[in-house]
Structure 1
Amino acid sequence: MSTNLIHLSNFKDGRESGLRHYMSQFGGSLHYFAYSLVHDRAVCEEIVSDSFYKLWLGRDKIKTVENIRAFLYLSTRNACYDYLVCPKNKIRFENNDGDFLANADPDLESQIIYAELIDIISAEVEKLPELQAKVFRMSYLEGFDTNEICELLGTTASTVYFAKSKAISSLKQIFKRKNLKYYSLFFAYFLLR
């Protein structure tokens, strides 16, 4: 029996090891996906946890890993949208993302692929030297500008530029060695930003 079938079987049989496997597999990209919608880490954590809880409760209806993935992303997206339209949360997003539904990407699959690409990039960023990883994360994944990074890290703009340049160069090489497809996606991600 393949590893994927074992994890699916464990999950469907109610073994926590099956749930932990899928939390590990999808958790990071779900958190990023939720954060891209609600911009609040604590809320994201709660939404993603709730999605896994709902998945666990409905595990008897799951047939494939693709069912798990689809359920988690739809559940997370819907919970994020519910959170954003709730009257008590509207004030927070009025100036920011007030019309998020009108501008939302109707293609959920492209949002999922984007979140999973960020997850792949994040895993490689963790392997970089500490300063390069911090600067890359703050700049490209968290949206800080150079001045904010300098202030938070107590460093100069030239150090930030150098660390960012070295990180991108290292990541280009990593993705080039691993697989041309990921290398192309990596560049597409940064060119479209």
Structure 2
Amino acid sequence: MATIEENLTNLRLGSESALSFFMDMYSHNLHFFAYKLVRDKDTIPEVISESFVKLWAHRTQFFSIEELKSFLYIVVRNSCLDQAKKGRERYAHGQMEEAVLLPNTDTDILTKIIHTELIALLGDALEKLPLQQAKIFRLTILEGKTTAEVCEELQTTASTVYFARSKAISALRRVFLKKNISYYLLVIFLLFS
């Protein structure tokens, strides 16, 4: 299997399979990012598709994965801003009952990009945990369910929930420490942003 760098080179050379590689790699994150901006499920697939069409058109300009990723996020952000502008224009002309309004600050956009990347990072880390630990972590930490609710849902005991959650947190802490990300800051950021 080709590495990211090899796929980047192949993309510049016009390989459609390299484009598919990057579509698989970034579509989910871009979809999540776009949804945080416009919250309109109907327009998001078009926005994401458009971003990859533009990536293909500019494929010879990317010499690092960071450039490619930044380009995709900027294209999606701009498309979402355009969608919001169209929504506001329709609202102003009486054609729409509710307008989708976006805050237009770079800080807010950067926060949403960081949030998207952290969610992806957390998702990848959770996939590497044993199934029971990952499920209990999602239910207790991400969904905020009580131990009793989790016990009832999973038909297990409170001690199993405590043990699995503790093991999951320890494993995730190690993963994020390797990446120089504080586990606690990550959870706070994800829960309150």
Amino acid of the structure 1 residue aligned with 2:145 = T
**Structure of greater Rg:** 2
Indicate conservation of the 8 Å contact 2:12/2:59, yes or no. Answer: yes
Indicate conservation of the 8 Å contact 1:128/1:167, yes or no. Answer: yes
Sequence identity (%):
33
**TM norm structure 2:** 0.67
Query: Which position in structure 1 is the counterpart of 2:115?
Result: 114
List aligned pairs for 1:41-190, cutoff 5 A.
43-85=43-85, 86=87, 87=90, 91=97, 99-101=101-103, 104-106=105-107, 108-137=109-138, 144-146=143-145, 150=149, 154=153, 162=162, 166-176=167-177, 179=178, 181-182=180-181, 184=182, 186-190=183-187
Alpha carbon RMSD of aligned pairs, Å?
3.9
Extract unaligned runs of 5+ from structure 2: none
Q: Distance in 1 between matches of 2:75 and 2:84?
A: 14
Extract unaligned runs of 5+ from structure 1: none
| Aligned with 2:188 (options 178, 183, 191) | 191
Aligned to 1:128, what secondary structure does the other structure show? coil
1:56 Cα deviation (Å)?
A: 1.3
Amino acid of the structure 1 residue aligned with 2:185 = A
Change beyond 3 A, Cα 1:13–1:130: same
Q: Distance in 1 between matches of 2:161 and 2:26?
A: 32
- Structure with the higher helix share, 1 or 2: 1
Aligned to 2:70, what secondary structure does the other structure show? helix
Change beyond 3 A, Cα 1:78–1:137: farther
| 1:116-146 alpha-carbon deviations (Å, 9 max, x no partner) | 22211110111223344345446666xx452
Indicate conservation of the 8 Å contact 1:105/1:111, yes or no. Answer: no
